[in-house]
Amino acid sequence: MPSARKSGHSFVTRQAVTDLVRSATLGSYGVTGFAARPHERLLERLGLVQPGIAIHLGDTIDIDLELTVAFGVPIAEVARQVDSAVRYSIRHALGREVGRVTIHIDGLRFGPGGAPPTVIQPAAGAVGPRDLADSGTDVA
């Protein structure tokens, strides 16, 4: 026989909300990490701060994120993905809605090959778009 519901309260720490946001963000497409200044990295190692995440708890949960993303991915799509993942994570785990998610992209990270070349030189003897246009050939 089911028991009657009892009203009560549950408390969630700021650290728990931060962990939910961190997990949802790092699991999103294109995110390579959180942006932080050197002194924030030191404080992170000491366990005093979570750089790149600011949580404002009140009537609503407001979240500010400072991220780095992978070079070559569409930044708007990364932001949409992060927003959706964070909102879903909070709604699913806590049953509360997120008021505002502000995402700042503070940098790009390059893959193992390093930064892309600034000017790509065509191979010797390669046919380029200008050659086709000058030849009178219609290209569709």
- pLDDT value for 52: 86
Which of 37-51, 56-70, 81-95 has the lowest average pLDDT?
A: 37-51
Residue 114, CB half-sphere, CA atoms under 13 Å: how many? Answer: 2
- Mean pLDDT over 9-25 rounds to 88
Domains in the chain: ranges and CATH: 29-112 (3.30.70)
pLDDT band at 82 (very low <50, low <70, confident <90, very high): very high
Bridge-based pairing of strands 53-57 and 61-70 is antiparallel
- pLDDT value for 140: 46
Please write the tens of the pLDDT for every residue from 91-125. 999 988 899 999 999 888 886 656 666 656 666 76
- pLDDT value for 132: 57
Look over the chain and give the mean of its residue pLDDT values, rounded to a whole number: 81
Alpha-carbon dihedral of residues 50, 108, 26, 101, nearest 10 degrees?
A: 70
